[in-house]
Amino acid sequence: MEGTRPPSLVRRAPAPYTSSMPRDSQRRQVVFEAARLLYGRDESEIHRAKVKAARQVYGGAFRSSDLPSNREVRDQICQFARADQRELHRQGLGAMRGLPATAARDLPAERRIDRFHLYAMLLLPLEHVRENREAHPEGDVLYHSLQVFTLAREELPYDEEFLLAALLHDVGKAIDPGDHAAAALDALEGFITPRTAWLIEHHHEALALAEQTLGARARRRLEESESFEELLLLARCDRAGRRRGVEVPDVEDALDYLRDLAEMCDGGDEAEGDQAGGKNP
């Protein structure tokens, strides 16, 4: 994915360690460097980033046991994202929290964080996350997420917030499988709208509702939302997106679709603004 890389993403590579350095310190440096390569878009595959980082830190010779886990690298990526977000807020650039179609469009290009890059970094590790085969015979979580996105796009092709929820609803499973919805919301904070966040937060309750295992009080609470029908639709897509051998787009194609949709909506907003201000199109 093309885009201007914010200065905060250009992180200085660590100096190579000598053999006298403690092994755990070297391992932390490998984690940092691998995450830097992925977050800075110098690498797109997590194992390759770890190997490249290990060669740099260990000076070429290392054992497979010296490589950090994918979880360690993903956690460091999330730390980078949170640090960059805090820096934007510190500089008074809170507009990063705006609606997807207009998020940060008025910021200088060199100060923008590409939210689609963040989405990709959260989605790609899902390829290595597998679930109970009885409930998810399709295989890994990334394949499931892309199926859900495809089904959602067939239903509401121009609802960016809904489509983002469909694509990103399970990204937390690569961070904290025990509470993946909360983990997803934490990682995505500031980069999705409240509506998308609500859909992700409650998608498991919607599944329970579809299975008729949700209590009446919880149902009434969900029904109070204007997005209740879309939540039910998300649950239907979630349940249907568990088939083997289904053709799906790759992560880049899915995000390109959403990026084009955001730009189209953004252009429409600007055109309406021009007309309201009496400007010629």
CATH number at residue 217: 1.10.3210.10
The SS3 call for residue 118 is helix
Contact (CB, 8 A) for 281 and 274: yes
Residues 123, 170 within the same domain = yes
Phi, psi torsion values for 19, nearest 5 degrees:
-65, -15
DSSP letters along 183-196, please? HHHHHHTTSS-HHH
Q: Per-residue pLDDT tens for 183-237?
A: 899 889 889 999 999 999 988 887 777 777 778 888 888 888 898 899 989 989 9
Position 220 scores a pLDDT of: 87
Q: Which domain holds residue 143?
A: 115-266
Phi, psi torsion values for 173, nearest 5 degrees:
-70, -20
Look at the chain and report how many structural domains it folds into.
2
Residues 87, 122 within the same domain = no
The pTM of the whole model exceeds 0.85: no
Phi, psi torsion values for 111, nearest 5 degrees:
-105, 0
Residues 84, 129 within the same domain = no
Q: Per-residue pLDDT tens for 229-280?
A: 999 899 899 888 888 888 989 999 999 999 988 887 665 444 334 433 443 3
Residues 87, 128 within the same domain = no
Q: Is the pLDDT of residue 167 over 80?
A: yes
Buried b (16+ CB within 10 A) or exposed e, 73-110: bbbbbbebbeebbeebeeeebeebbebbbebbeebeee
Residues 125, 241 within the same domain = yes
Residue tagged 């914010």 (tokens): 6
Which one-letter DSSP state was computed for residue 18? P
Tell me the sheet residues that pair with 140: 130
N-terminal to C-terminal alpha carbon distance within the chain: 30
The SS3 call for residue 136 is coil
Q: Which two tokens stand for residue 176?
A: 């904290």
Position 217 scores a pLDDT of: 85
**Angstrom distance (rounded) from CA 70 to CA 130:** 14
Q: Which two tokens stand for residue 78?
A: 């999330």
Contact (CB, 8 A) for 140 and 126: yes
Residues 141, 64 within the same domain = no
129 occurs within a structural domain: yes
Residues 146, 49 within the same domain = no
Residues 120, 76 within the same domain = no
Residues 72, 204 within the same domain = no
Residues 236, 131 within the same domain = yes
